[in-house]
Amino acid sequence: MGYRRALSFGWARRDTLAVVVIALTVAFLVGAAVLGVALGDQTTAIAAEFETTYELAGGGGDGTSSPGAVQFTLGTVTGGGERATVVGIDPNAPNITVRGQRIGFPTAQRGTVAAATATDHSVFSGSDTLSVQSRSSHPLLPDSWYVTHPATARELADTESYTIRSVPTPRTPLLSALLFFVYGSLELINVLQLATIGGGLLVGVTAFSVVRISVRERRPDIEVLRATGATPRQIVGIYGLRALVLTAIGLAIGYGFGLIFVRGVVNVALSYGLPTSLDIRLTSRVLRVLVPAGGLFLVIGGLSGIGAAYTTTATDPRPDRGRTGGSGTADGPLSGFRRLIGTRLLQWSTLVPTAATLTVFMCALLVLTSVAGAFGPLAAADGQTITQPGTPHPVASNVPVSYADALRAQGAEASPEILLFEVYRGDPIVARGVNFSAYRSFSGIELQAGTMPQTPEEALIGTDLARATGLRVGDTMVIGGSTTPAVARIEITGTFAGRGIQDDQLLVGLQTARDLANRPADSVHLIRTRGLSVDSETASTIVVTDAGLARQDGQPGVVLTATNLGLSETTRAVDVTVNGTTRTTSITLASRRSGQQFVPFDLQTGETYELEVGNIDVRASLGESGSTGDGVAATGLRIQGPTTVPVNSTPQFVVRRGGEPVPNATLSVGAETATTGGGGTTRVRFGTSGDARVIADAGGDRTAMTVSVTTNATRRPTLSLSITPDAPSIFTRPDATVRLSNPWETDLQSSVVIEAPGGDRTRNLTLPSGGSTEIGFTLPRRPPGTYTVTATVGEAQQVSTTYAVQGDERLGAALASSGRYTGGSGITRAIQLAFGNIEALVLAIVSLLAVMTVGSTTAALTRAVHTSKNEIGIRRATGATPADVFTAVFTDALKIGAAASVVSIGLGFGIVRGLLSMGELRVFGLALDPILSPAVVVGAISIGLGVTVVSALLATVRTVRAPPARLLVDRHIPVSDERGDSE
């Protein structure tokens, strides 16, 4: 039968529109699938080094064991007035191997606990006291945990049993980074599979609209076929085949175009310098999304064709010659309301397919808006992120946490943070190690329930994450490490709400995060800051910490010590001024390194000079002695010993040069002489009272000091005090060292009191004859200013030293500039660097989405315009211009588009929220939660209205261009126009 081929395979321009729309829909899905899977594959490849098969099973696990499994019991004890975790491990627990590292497990005897850190307090289990032993640090267990025998642990209240075991797919892995991206990629593929449903709806609307036009146009032919014996089933089957053919052609073209388009977008991104490195190709994971989607599209396309033909072919084949225009608004006066809502050319029945296509668009738009809402606040222009330069991503960065404290001391806001990628019971979770007070102040999060954490083992959970995982206040989580094998136990004490993805995160303390990410105690991944200027061109991260007069190769001058506090090598020109004479020297130092520089000056021995270097302003000389009882020569030769001695005593003196003892030095007091031994020490006798001159000679250098000799002098330890560096910056914590030596022939017992910023200290000591000891401690960071440290022995022996803390806004700006100082947060930087720049990915998807929606809506409105072609022909024949027709269509499209946009945004929001409530629409642990703000609503309605109007005008172009006579005549099979194309 010839009519079968004509109806099934005859081609018209509207069929081209159908193929284009279906091809764009498929191209959208191909592009999204290829980009999404490439994103997941790339992040998985980056994290491949963190692969492990070990998981932490317990609590919600099945409790089963396996060969090689390690079972342990967790409980709580009290030590030093604070609650602490205790873990009971079987003494026969097997070793495990993670990333090539063989790990054994510590244990303890029954009734005892083992601690990794020194402790002087008792540990209590209820009313029982447990003796404390020492243990070494363990690669998996935190140092804060006590280890005990499992029998002792089981006697505790509220214990939990866990197992470390090897399984093919861990749900709570011992090392989470890789599986975070694996599970996150599965979530992404799930979202893409949901997108195929929306794509199928667009294919259905397009196929239905085009086939319905064809059926309507061929009604006279169908009437003839029905009258001559063709059954409705035959006609419906023919049009179902026609829709299937159109869908298949669109599928084939769309697959190819989608790949070409995505590669083109990536190439454009590269040409504009975006760090895009996604691997764009068809893989088995991509095909697992596309092949089922293609089958779904074919089924929907065929069924849509059958549905479009059924309502016409299954009825009486008599022609319908009634008017097919708008809703009766072409003629006659109308009431105000009917005039307001009435249409002239487009029927209100077009609202359904238009709203359907716009609903798909709104769903996608709301999801993309949620992405912008998630990352937008984190990339705001009022905040910057400091990371280590040269690192491939923030997780590899290493920034001293002290920088945050110093930045806050300068008035800038700063939040030190560690990024963690965790998996808990199969759910990927983005976690951050934070200083809770600093993060709360910087990010503006609000506590919704519970309390702020007070201990390292407490945490906050975001409201969205709590909703998705079912975790709530009071729950305890045992999780593995992020980028290092580890075990951590945390208790959720509160929930918080924030902007964007903030409330999709788990916030843990910095100490816990360091255990999970293998960070040193003084470092973090990044520091977020704001309120700090980085525009100073004169700023430098090199600070001068010490300066003094000395000789080098016989030339007098100034020796200065400098430190580079920054994260990259830098050079600074330093002005050195001595008594008004200034010379400039250049210092180059690597990141966080110190060095010395010598600047020659014409100086005279014994004279005092005014020395200015950087923030150091002191009076110095090449002379001798000081309050510490040390004689210092220009050569650096130094005598250390008591400044007051009894008559006929034989105290010990030490000769040093540059801090090192000088052997074979000659020490003389009047006629008494002695030679120092290998430790630079010797004893000399003081026979008469009065002031005695002690002179040291070594290698042609000489220095001297004065000692007071009295009959009633008290034998006390010699005391010295040093601060390193002498001039610390606001970014460093200086070290103080008090050295006590017993120069006498008998043992001494004494008490030393040290007064210093941060608190006083008292130590009781026993020093053997000739012995010495050092008391070292680290001083706290302080704002710029001068501070004093004093050490006192007894009532009279005292030594003091002052140090000046230097720093200003320029130093803070330079410090920030020395790292990678960029807008946005660590998450934003990670996405840009690891995911291949999210802007390119979103650009490709939005471009395809917009074109696809316009095409599908155009197909739906083409059917509406075709339904009114007779009326358009009458209008044109009676004098209406094309502009008049376009105006009428424009007005109708505004009304239908406004209604369709309102309906579609409501449906779209409901669908997205419904999917979220079902646990869908989560990607890499982040919920794609739409923000329905007034701006989003107005913008979405405006876009929907614009799409409808543009689609309607595009659908009208060919009809308006046709001669009016052609619009008033029904066409039969096959009818060609003068250009050889059938309609």
The answer to whether residue 48 sits within a structural domain is: no
HSE, side-chain direction, 13 A CA sphere, residue 869? 26
Domain identity same for 362 and 393: no
SS3 state of residue 715: coil
Q: Is 938 exposed, middle or buried (0-12, 13-18, 19+ CB in 10 A)?
A: exposed
Preceding omega of 725 cis (within 30 degrees of 0): yes
Domain assignment present for 615: no
* DSSP class of 686: B
Task: Taking each helix axis as running N to C, give the angle between helix 177-217 and helix 838-867, from 0 to 180 degrees, rounded to the nearest 10.
Answer: 20
Residue 903 lies in a domain: yes
Cβ 50 vs Cβ 173: under 8 Å = no
Q: Tokens at residue 832, please?
A: 């840009």
Residue 827 lies in a domain: no
CB count in 10 Å sphere of residue 85? 21
Q: pLDDT value at position 436?
A: 95
- Chain-centroid distance of CA 569 in Å reads 26
- In the chain, % helix, strand, coil (3-state, to 5) comes to 40, 30, 30
Contact 848, 27 (CB under 8 A): yes
> Within this chain, do residues 225 and 329 fall inside the same structural domain, yes or no?
yes
pTM above 0.85, yes or no: no
651/788 same-domain check: yes
Cα separation, 546 vs 650, whole angstroms:
35
CA proximity to 743, closest of 669, 641, 656: 641
- 551, 569, 604 - which closes a domain: 604
**pLDDT tens figures, 919-973:** 788 877 888 777 777 888 888 888 888 888 888 888 788 778 877 777 776 554 4
Handedness of CA 615, 619, 625, 627 (dihedral sign): negative
- With respect to residue 813, please indicate whether it lies within any of the assigned structural domains: no
62 Cβ partners below 8 Å, 6+ apart?
A: none
Residue that terminates a domain, selected from 532, 551, 584: 532
Q: Do 584 and 679 belong together in one domain?
A: no
Q: Which residues of the chain have pLDDT under 50?
A: 1, 60-64, 319-334, 376-381, 536-537, 623-634, 824-837, 972-983
Region at 959 (left for phi over 0; alpha for psi -120 to 50; beta for the rest):
alpha
State the total domains in the chain: 5
In a domain, 618, yes or no: no
- Does one domain contain both 782 and 872? no
Side chain identity at residue 810, one-letter code: R
Residue 772 has a pLDDT of: 85
Domain coverage including residue 769: 630-806
What sign results for the dihedral spanned by CA atoms 515, 521, 526, 529? positive
Co-location of 801 and 879 in the same domain: no
| Alpha-carbon span 176 to 123, nearest angstrom | 33
User: Is there a single domain that holds both residue 760 and residue 864?
Assistant: no
pLDDT of residue 144: 86
Return the pLDDT at 380: 44
Angstrom distance (rounded) from CA 358 to CA 339: 25
Which ranges of 47-158 does DSSP label H, i.e. alpha helix? 150-154
How far apart CA 654 and CA 472 sit, in angstroms, is 66
| CA 512 to each of CA 56, 435, 499, 895: distance values in angstroms, whole numbers, following the listed order | 17, 11, 24, 59
At residue 814, the pLDDT reads: 62
Asked if 898 and 853 sit in the same domain, the reply is yes
Strand partners, 772: 741
Cβ atoms 730, 741 nearer than 8 A: no
Please tell me whether residues 648 and 733 are part of one structural domain: yes
* Beta-carbon-side half-sphere exposure of residue 593 (alpha carbons within 13 Å): 11
Query: Which of 115, 146, 167 marks a domain boundary?
Result: 167
Residues in the chain: 983
Structure-token pair, residue 504: 């999709």
Residue 182 host element (H or E): helix 177-217
312 C-beta neighbours (distance < 10 Å), count: 20
- Asked if the structure places residue 12 within a domain, the reply is yes
**What 8-state DSSP symbol labels residue 629?**
S
Residue 220 burial by Cβ neighbours in a 10 Å radius (0-12, 13-18, 19+): middle
Cβ 857 vs Cβ 354: under 8 Å: yes
CA pair distance 374, 500, nearest whole angstrom: 3
Q: Residue 688 sits in a domain of what CATH number?
A: 2.60.40.10
What pLDDT is recorded for position 329? 45
Nearest of 639, 577, 583 to residue 613 by alpha carbon: 577
- Same domain (yes/no): 743, 874: no
Residue 934 lies in a domain: yes
Query: Are 648 and 782 found together in one domain?
Result: yes
Beta bridge partner(s), residue 697: 666, 702
Same domain for 192 and 116, yes or no, is no
pLDDT at position 976 is: 45
